[in-house]
Structures are given as C-alpha cells and as structure tokens.
Amino acid sequence: MKGKIKFYPALFGAIFLLAFSACKKESNEESMISFDPQKDSEEADGNFPYRWLSTYGFFEGDLKNLSPIEGLIPYEPASSLFTDYAHKSRFVWIPEGEKAKISGDELDLPEGSVLVKNFYYPEDFSKPTGERRIIETRLMIHQANGWEAFPYIWNDSQTDAILKVVGGETKVTYRDEKGKDQVINYLIPNKNQCKTCHNKNEKLDPLGVEVKHLNSEKKIKGESVNQLAYWANVGKLEGFLGENEHPKIVDYSNESLPLAERAKAYLDINCAHCHREEGPASTSGLFLGFDQTDPLKLGINKTPVAAGNGAGSFQFDIVPGKADESILIHRMKSTEVGVAMPEIGRTTIHKEGVELIRTWINSMDSSPN
C-alpha cells in the first residue's frame, strides 16, 4: 500500500510553512507530561503547532500503533462521516484540571482541548485489525482565539507524520470485504478547506463531538460504555444527567433500526454541518439535522434555491416515492465538481449511503396531500 504523496503549494501554505521552518523535532518525553497549547507555544519559542505529530506525545510506543497515553480519551460518533471508505480512530485530550460541559444540547470543550483524528486503510478490509496504512492525522486545537485545524501527513515508513497545511494527494490501494482490489485517489484537504465543513456561524467548529453523537455506546478499555457517562466518570465532563436525559442519534449502518431514523442519521453526520441554520448552506432552506421534522426543510417536494448545474434535470430535492428523480440522490451519486455533495471529503461514491437514502425516499408516500 505504498504511494507517493504529492503536495500542491499555495501562497497561504508557503507563508505558514516559512513561519515554522525552524521547527525541530522534540522528544516525546518532554511533551507527555501535559499539553497546554498556550504554555507550549511559549516554551517552543513560537514553534507551535509542532512540525511532527510525534512531538505532541499523544501516543506511546511505535507511533503507527496509535496507542494512546493515559488521559487521551477515545471517542466515536454514533454515525460516521463517509470519507472514501477510510477507517478512523478518534481521541480527545482535555487539559488536566479541566472538564467539558454540557449546556442544553451543546457540548463545550475547554481551551487547551485537542481532537485527534486518524485516517487509515487496512490492507484487507476483511481483516480490519491487520496491516494498515495511516494516511493522515488531523488535529483540532482549542486555543484562546477559538478552534484551529492542522493536517499531518504520514510518511511511507509509518514512523511519523509531518505538518502540511497545503494538503496533498495520494493513491491508496486495498482489498475490500468481498476480496476485490480497490484504488482510491485520496485527497487530503488543506488547512483553509477545513472550514468548508467545520463551520458554525463562520467560526471553525468540531464535528461529531456533540451530545447527540456521543450519547452512545463504545468499547473503551475492553468494556462497552456510554461515552458521555465514561467522560463523567473519569472526571472530564460535567452536566451529564443520564443517557435518557440527552438527545441521541442512531447508527445508520444498523439495519435493525427504523429506516427513517437511519436515513436522517446519515444526512445529519454527512450533510447537516453545512445544511443547518448556522452552516454555510443556511440560505438553501434545506436543513438536514436528525431532529428535523418539517418536510419542506428536509427537501420533500422542495425546489432548490440556487443549485445551478447541481440540480441536473430534476425539479425537487426529494420526490416522495421517486428517489431517482430527486436532486438529493443525483448529487450523492456524482463525483463531478459542482454536482457532488458533499463538496469535499470524498472522491468516490458511498454506494451503501446512496442505497440507504434511495430506499428511504422510495418508501415515502407519493400520493398527493
């Protein structure tokens, strides 16, 4: 699973890299004691963010094993964003003495918190814990001026990952669950593109780290636990009242659950970061959050506001009972720039996702009101 990564310099990236060209790789021992972005920035003489992922000391032993240090909490949203079939491992670092807080339906992480998200491909998808290639690690760091995102690209030897704000592109090969060889032209977003999706009221904002996504079960240290309850039990969360007292979202891949709930969970994690009132697509009038109940806002018999060529020859976002006449399906099954939705984050079609939404739309009552 080797592949050369190509980088596409941009003026912003060049200026950013120049500012950090004097960075030196620091020892893990120095950074494993604690992680405080503001303090570390001063101690590193302006070299924060670090040039190398290993400098943060988030993982012990061989870096490629992604074995978290004590205090780095694994997490997983109930439903996962599709990224060209990449597997992901996610962790959150909350500074010593600090706690996340639940306020209403919102989860607030304190300054100094870090989200660590690793993207990788098993060589053989039928053996997900076997040999793998890690492509990138994305850090989101909560600093005094808000959240900032930093992409780290792994080397071919899988010994470390380097900060590359200009993103990149690499060919990935793997064998899928059916034993068929697959090739993906994997695109790593640049730093500026992060805000395309991580955007709430024009400010960078995390995805997936929300009450509704984390009010779900995950195996941690060999035990299946409610994630929010676990955070509270280890002293990293306040305001948790019990899983039945907070909103939750279902796992869309669980075929035993109701079809409509699965479909809306898929749209929530894959589309609602833009298609919400606080998102970049707020003017579209198409709001795809899990708790959306207004048929028109869900797109049912709704004409698009400004889809342009993206609508193709179709008239409505969703045509009940007629998925293949719906703009939503048309855009989901396209990879053409200007048509494909989401706009970034994938170069392939999520066949299972398309089929889920197609089945949901076809199950809708197509009779006139």
SS3 at position 178: coil
State the DSSP H helix or E strand holding residue 340, giving kind and residue range, or none if neither.
none
- 292 and 207 within one domain: no
Domain membership of residue 249 (yes or no) is no
Average pLDDT, the chain: 84
Q: What is the model's pTM?
A: 0.83
- Residue after which a domain boundary falls, among 217, 244, 271: 244
Q: How many domains does the chain have?
A: 2
Domain membership of residue 3 (yes or no) is no
- 273 and 240 within one domain: no
- Residues near 89 by beta carbon (within 8 Å), at least 6 away in sequence: 66, 74, 117, 118, 120
- 172 and 115 within one domain: yes
- Residue after which a domain boundary falls, among 223, 244, 265: 244
Question: pLDDT tens across 205-236, in order?
Answer: 888 899 999 999 999 989 999 999 999 999 99
Domain membership of residue 6 (yes or no) is no
Domain membership of residue 94 (yes or no) is yes
Predicted local confidence at residue 144, as pLDDT: 86
The answer, yes or no, to whether residue 108 has pLDDT greater than 90, is yes
- 321 and 300 within one domain: yes
The answer, yes or no, to whether residue 35 has pLDDT greater than 60, is no
Structural domain including 278 reads 256-362
Question: pLDDT tens across 143-187, in order?
Answer: 888 898 999 999 999 999 999 988 888 999 999 999 999 999 998
